[in-house]
Structure 1
Amino acid sequence: MTETAHDAGALRERALTTLVTARDRTTLLTSCVADPDLTAQHSPLMSPLVWDLAHIGNQEEQWLLRAVAGQEAIRPEIDSLYDAFEHPRADRPKLPLLPPGEARRYAAEVRGRALDVLESTAFDGTRLTEAGFAFGMIAQHEQQHDETMLITHQLRRGPQALTAPDPDPVPLFTGPAEVLVPGGPFTMGTSDEPWALDNERPAHRREVPPFFIDTTPVTNGAYLAFVEDGGYDDPRWWAPEGFEHIRRHSVTAPLFWRRDGRQWLRRRFGVIEAVPPHEPVMHVSWYEADAYARWAGRRLPTEAEWEKAARYDPAGDRSMRYPWGDADPAPEHANLGQRHLRPGPAGSSPAGESPLGVRQLIGDVWEWTASDFLPYPGFRAFPYREYSEVFFGPGYKVLRGGSFAVDAVACRGTFRNWDHPIRRQIFSGFRTARSEAP
């Protein structure tokens, strides 16, 4: 076997594995509840689960069957129904959506044909097929919608539908509270990660002054001190528009928290439990994260600071794929892939620590940064503007690092997520930073 044939075989196997992993998860998320729960809208912020299911199949059809293989459309009449830009989420229940059984059959037919396309596609043709990019893009797209569907499950009222083992307990973290990240340039973004998406590209040099960053994400216990100190009532800590928002919507604590006498409880996938003090805080908006950081005398890290803390190896003066190196994530590195339905305690996954000593930069909770979502110098939209370009601007803040709900295929040291600064239903937390004293 030639080296080229060997490389193609390895790419084909990787694409097959990621596609199958994503579909297994989609099946779990759409089979653990009855059909009425699939067609119901559990929050105006989210689509009905059955919309996500058919949308996953439709995107796969458009890109793998039509764009890569040149096949005729299976169901061209449904394209507009599952166009995320044509219909806001709140309006999707009113559309003539495919019912659950038909949506399952459609997605399965597309997948069967897509696997045939995978077997016959050469990986040295167009940019869309180079290194199997289109297959990686579709696997990432499905996993992103799986995370979206998991958010819908969290918002759903009713008995518990999903179960998973808890992360292994770890000793209480007693390491340093913060880590110094040295000043100087580093390489941000990527030009050679085969399945990186357009907003991660191209690699470019960034100058970052020295700064300190939290060793672990901010915990529930630390955030509770802000709540109990009246943080939600004090406009000193809040961006004006953020304070106006929480006043208007009576926000007084992270989403899904409630006080029961002297105890704080939370709802997590249908289960009511005490808020665990040593777990990273979750379901907070950018405004809440920013207010906490101000209250604590600190700030949110910029996106460039976050990435340098996560990827920079001072020994080799290079940027790595992940905090632990270039190897793909393993369970000991990070809490990913919905293996658990919660973050691990602060200080978990020491094998995933960065060379500078920062922990849990990948997995557990998405981390808000101070930065707006903007293109990198030399950005080019690919393969369509609607993936990234239409979102660039001050209306969206960048989140980094993934969460327990993210699959490894859709999470890298360069991976960028973004959302409105008011959003709280996402699995979002944060860590804080401060500039080095002059």
Structure 2
Amino acid sequence: MADLFDLPDSGNGSNEGASESSAPRPLADRLRPKTLGEVIGQEQVLGPDAPLGVMLSSGSLSSLIFWGPPGVGKTTIARLLADETDLHFVQISAIFTGVPELRKVFEAAKARRTNGKGTLLFVDEIHRFNKAQQDGFLPYMEDGTILLVGATTENPSFELNAAVLSRSQVLVLERLSLADLERLAQRSERELNRVLPLDGPAREALLEMADGDGRALLNLIEQVMAWRVDGKLDTDALSTRLMRRAAKYDKAGEEHYNLISALHKSVRGSDPDAALYWFARMLEGGEDPRFLARRITRMACEDIALADPQAQGICLNAWETYERLGSPEGELALAQAVIYLALAPKTNAGYVAYKEARRMAKKTGSEPPPKHILNAPTQLMAEQGYGAGYEYDHDAEGGFSGQNYFPEGIKRPVLYAPVERGFERELKRRLDYFSSQRLKKQ
């Protein structure tokens, strides 16, 4: 931890080495790694046996797409790659670059190549270019004019066209772990020659506030180091002075679908704690509770169904309660519904049966019902055999006639196969009884 550095206390707020006539360089700039070996985290990409490590050792670097959240080193790694491979580094942002600027970049790269110097073109927010603009990179990638390194926070499968993806390798950069952030904090303390004025829990809280974003952590550290404090601040004092960074959550993007998937699978996996956690994560991210109400009702239909017939009603009641109370009071009713679903017996037998019935209905087309279960409101229909031979089940022995209700010539399928869980155990008992009675009457 930081105490191992034997650094002076930060209470004086001094900035040694900074010129009085100019502001000091931002901490993030001062700590920018000078080699790939200094990069914190991303071992799954940079390690000796990882994709970039193998490319560099074999001298076979190809165009790349870095996919990952903000503040995990995408720009830094791209710049260091250019240094490692002796390529001229050019950085553009898709937000501020149009077709005229791109043409100038490509022409400059062609001229540079004529003089024996290659170009690594780093395109930040590459997903902001439309598909036609992305196509403009292809000829320059193919003839070696540029080595493209794109950076995106969005899923490349959805945001980049197939031609660019086929000519690039996608590398996933991960949010920094707490251990990575601690290493970054220690590096900051060495650079500033001061220890963060925080006790242990407050230091951990600061790391958590960064939410895996190294750049955000360095900005927070700069704020903390600027305070004039005596001793060490605790978590409450830190929270008073700093606002917690909002969690990354895109209500219309991939994160939205990732988190609802995590919630659904936690419910299906009968883990109420995990289900509540993902439910809370979505609320904290600003998700509409009505969307959550709709989706948990769907979970009741898909994964609990007739194993617990009360589950759907509980979800609908929770939904109505939310509509009456609003936020934040009504969210508690939804949370309780999530807990109930997670602990309810599970079955997808009804869901499977429904999907198979739809498949069978498409396959059989317009096959008519058997005539004996059709009504005959006219004489002509009666003459055609409508209703002939129909047995009224209430008049049959045991209230069960065992007649065929499928179209003629279609082999009777088994669509619904209940499980031995919850109330569906009772339904299975009934189904088995009717099946045995049907066999007797054949």
* TM-score after normalising by structure 2: 0.19
Query: Quick check: which has more Rg, 1 or 2?
Result: 2
TM-score (normalizing by structure 1): 0.19
- The structure with higher relative contact order (CA 8 Å, sep 6+) is 1
Identify the structure with the greater helix proportion: 2
